[in-house]
Structure 1
């Protein structure tokens, strides 16, 4: 038998071989289907390889972010228990946000080379953020750095001697005494809350985050040149980033009366503006942008162990990305001057308790509280006759210099507000054009506080927008975008009871003129 294979001429027909296998395929009838099957196998293999590579890439990036995060324990001082674990997806979550007055470097040194205190410097910013369980509200409560409160005994995280408890000490010093957990303990004791987590950042975080976002819009009523912080801004709206963003947040001389209240208002306005920008640009839904922000934040962030995983931080971002800006409230804890030193503050307990209760009960600050039930007819609930409200001092309206500063862009609107003032007896009222202003405010010089309060009441302007100004001649009414029509400004979303704003409001800072 010959072992030679026959060679068939090109184009010759192949005889029918029945079900004989051709090239390993029964009868040759599934050749096209098998090639398609092989193609699908190759596609699946390629997709699998891409997915493996993608998962590996994500894992590497998360590992990089994870390596950035520094942690400290949520040590709540002696004799205090830690908060119970919370579900970052479904529970109300309270996070203390601390900004330190240091520029840290490797080895625990400041930018100037000084060794840091045990806790890492003093708190330049102290804000308590509450994320509601229904994902509809965010409340941020600011604490002045000059506030005097009871301080617990705390053990510094890096070791050393336990700090001494104090009946009254400056709140921003708790960080240096025992780390962020000591500030957590002090605020827990002050408010009756049980803070779940903390985040602490230094100066570099503000600089780098503002640069990553491409700048943050801020507004000032007059040009600012502050030699102490280096803040330099023209009147109106500007975008700040880097050193100028840091100067805007840190200055104590540029705004208001040159104290901590003006600085806190500027910080709240900055965060509100940042929230508006992040939502407008859908930053938290844009993965590359979100990663850039996450890298910036984690590189400059210290958190408690419960937030040490990057996935936990991403859950928090998911909690806030869709919250309505009108439901993001920035408020300041009610305080009063300390009787022994008016340059220091103590808690106004009567005004603060309803605020703390709302946070403990996870209630919105931008919705009206339920009214108390009326007393039964014929029963006042008290044997004492309610004292009448004190009468306002008489105002000689004709003798009060009033300037209507028009920030609406409409000359007709300024003329209308002037006419309303003249009708109330403020015969000397005149108008002055200015830059656009988002909110109506009343500035007053020395001796004109009663007249300013009367004018504010006339137009329904919140008491928080009554601002003493050494440069004001008499009373100046800055008419803003919330007073374009009607005889009163839009209602204050915080009900006029709290000092602060929502993220929806664009607030201009009053330059101090110092």
Structure 2
């Protein structure tokens, strides 16, 4: 730098150097060539560039800070607490059909201690809200499927969250008890077992999450047919429309006595109306594309949220937001799992079949519930060619064919036996029911491969489902949840009128009842 200052100095300084030595000084070795000298970079541009670099670095640092803050908020647990511990293939959250089980817990621990007694303030609590958010692979359809908390279902058994012996399988439990027994992963395992689904993620929210989220959104519009006061939940609203948040939003979602017949199904209707209203507001205000607003909501939600480990990052949550931001509200459907009164206890519910099985099959096959004619191919349908009939002749009437039910539907084996009899397999018998499983199998012993091929061809069962069992004498069809309805494997029927409403419909007023509180 000193050489440059001499050469490029003022005129007087240069003249003194020349007169003192009698010859011009040689340029220093570091003197830049003529082409590189040019104009110096203006000072203002240096300052601006440095400022931009500083802003960029600060921005990256701040983004990293926000990311780490959200990451630190999130609490995680294993997705599946079932005894087999199998989650199935890992889904691509950006392209595959995705099922997210959203649960609301009634635990009174931590910030929620004011809502109950000391006896209610430990453990996971019961899941009073269970909604399956189903995102289609093509990003065009969303279904929100509510599971009644009073639904009686088989319990597959779960790992003990406190260590020790596993929780044994039971013929029947109330669905919302699975959370208190084994945590959110146990609820996932239980629903997987009787639906044949493979749920990809879960979110478990507490009371505080509902209050804070609705406050961040500036309230959610609801409507009641007349003024309502429910001491049990704290709900207190005038007739007509209201914008509610915080405690009143929580009371609206929790009340079991105020609406309809004061039962679980009418509470679900109110919850679905609330969620539809909230969806419309988020969509109309562009929340999912407004990063500051989205971050604020994510920060609020993640502080009061437990998710499975694969969903435990802001990036994963943003992926879900991206999938939802362009959905047409008319393609956001709300459904309640078909159910009816339990013959053993009128205060409980059981699945209504075959309607429930048809619904689960439609979800497994990524079929739109609002526009089934544009449904995609079922992922449970054959990935290889359907099994071709055998060419060897034999007497069908004497073939030992056994049908065992693993679908979860009590009469399913009997239905398929009738079809086998009509096809000439009159010696077919019903075997003992086996534990529910998602996929059907066709087992065959030595010398019975031809019979197995013909039975598979009869029902459209793919070759990949045939399993050699040399010790077996005959053929056994194990009917899984993927063949719970219909006469052809992989067929899909969307139950009529299963969709209760869509998010684009005007706000619905809830019928306030006059039942004693």
Partner of 1:497: 497
Three-state SS of the structure 2 residue aligned to 1:349 is coil
Q: What TM-score, normalized to structure 1?
A: 0.68
1:102–1:110 CA contact under 8 A, matched in 2: no
Deviation string 1:294-339 (CA, Å, 9 cap, x unpaired) is 0111000001111111211111111111111111111000001111
Deviation string 1:98-152 (CA, Å, 9 cap, x unpaired) is 100124318x978657366885010110111111111111111100010000012
Three-state SS of the structure 1 residue aligned to 2:41 is helix
Q: 5 Å matches for 1:290-309?
A: 290-309=294-313
> Counterparts of 1:35 and 1:216 in 2: how far apart (Å)?
56
Structure 2 gap segments, 5+ residues each: 1-8, 14-23, 376-418, 423-493
> Counterparts of 1:329 and 1:149 in 2: how far apart (Å)?
24
> Counterparts of 2:209 and 2:325 in 1: how far apart (Å)?
20
Measure how far apart 1:370 and its partner are: 7.8
Given candidates 310, 313, 316, the residue that maps to 2:317 is: 313
> Counterparts of 1:6 and 1:124 in 2: how far apart (Å)?
85
2:64 is the alignment partner of 1:59: yes
> Counterparts of 2:78 and 2:35 in 1: how far apart (Å)?
71
> Counterparts of 1:311 and 1:274 in 2: how far apart (Å)?
23
Partner of 1:349: 353
Partner of 2:6: none
2:200 is the alignment partner of 1:199: no
> Counterparts of 1:337 and 1:93 in 2: how far apart (Å)?
31
Measure how far apart 1:501 and its partner are: 1.2
2:70–2:313 CA contact under 8 A, matched in 1: no
Alpha carbons of 1:7 and 1:76: their partners in 2 closer, same or farther (altered >3 Å)? Answer: closer
> Counterparts of 1:337 and 1:511 in 2: how far apart (Å)?
22
Measure how far apart 1:42 and its partner are: 3.9
1:104–1:202 CA contact under 8 A, matched in 2: no
Partner of 1:322: 326
> Counterparts of 1:6 and 1:172 in 2: how far apart (Å)?
88
Alpha carbons of 1:7 and 1:220: their partners in 2 closer, same or farther (altered >3 Å)? Answer: closer
Deviation string 1:142-175 (CA, Å, 9 cap, x unpaired) is 0001000001211233434422311111000000
> Counterparts of 1:332 and 1:187 in 2: how far apart (Å)?
14
Alpha carbons of 1:160 and 1:234: their partners in 2 closer, same or farther (altered >3 Å)? Answer: farther
Q: 5 Å matches for 1:133-148?
A: 133-148=137-152
> Counterparts of 2:363 and 2:509 in 1: how far apart (Å)?
27
Measure how far apart 1:361 and its partner are: 0.6
> Counterparts of 2:495 and 2:101 in 1: how far apart (Å)?
25
1:73–1:157 CA contact under 8 A, matched in 2: no
Three-state SS of the structure 2 residue aligned to 1:323 is coil
> Counterparts of 1:7 and 1:298 in 2: how far apart (Å)?
69
2:165 is the alignment partner of 1:157: no
> Counterparts of 1:159 and 1:28 in 2: how far apart (Å)?
76
Measure how far apart 1:261 and its partner are: 1.1
Alpha carbons of 1:198 and 1:42: their partners in 2 closer, same or farther (altered >3 Å)? Answer: same
Alpha carbons of 1:199 and 1:496: their partners in 2 closer, same or farther (altered >3 Å)? Answer: same
Three-state SS of the structure 2 residue aligned to 1:75 is coil
Given candidates 196, 205, 212, the residue that maps to 1:208 is: 212
Partner of 2:436: none
2:99 is the alignment partner of 1:98: no
2:516 is the alignment partner of 1:512: no
> Counterparts of 2:10 and 2:196 in 1: how far apart (Å)?
98
Measure how far apart 1:495 and its partner are: 8.5
Given candidates 39, 61, 72, the residue that maps to 2:77 is: 72
Structure 1 gap segments, 5+ residues each: 10-17, 372-380, 385-493
Q: 5 Å matches for 1:24-423?
A: 33-36=39-42, 39-105=44-110, 112=116, 114=118, 120-369=124-373
2:342–2:350 CA contact under 8 A, matched in 1: yes
> Counterparts of 2:220 and 2:160 in 1: how far apart (Å)?
35
Three-state SS of the structure 2 residue aligned to 1:97 is strand
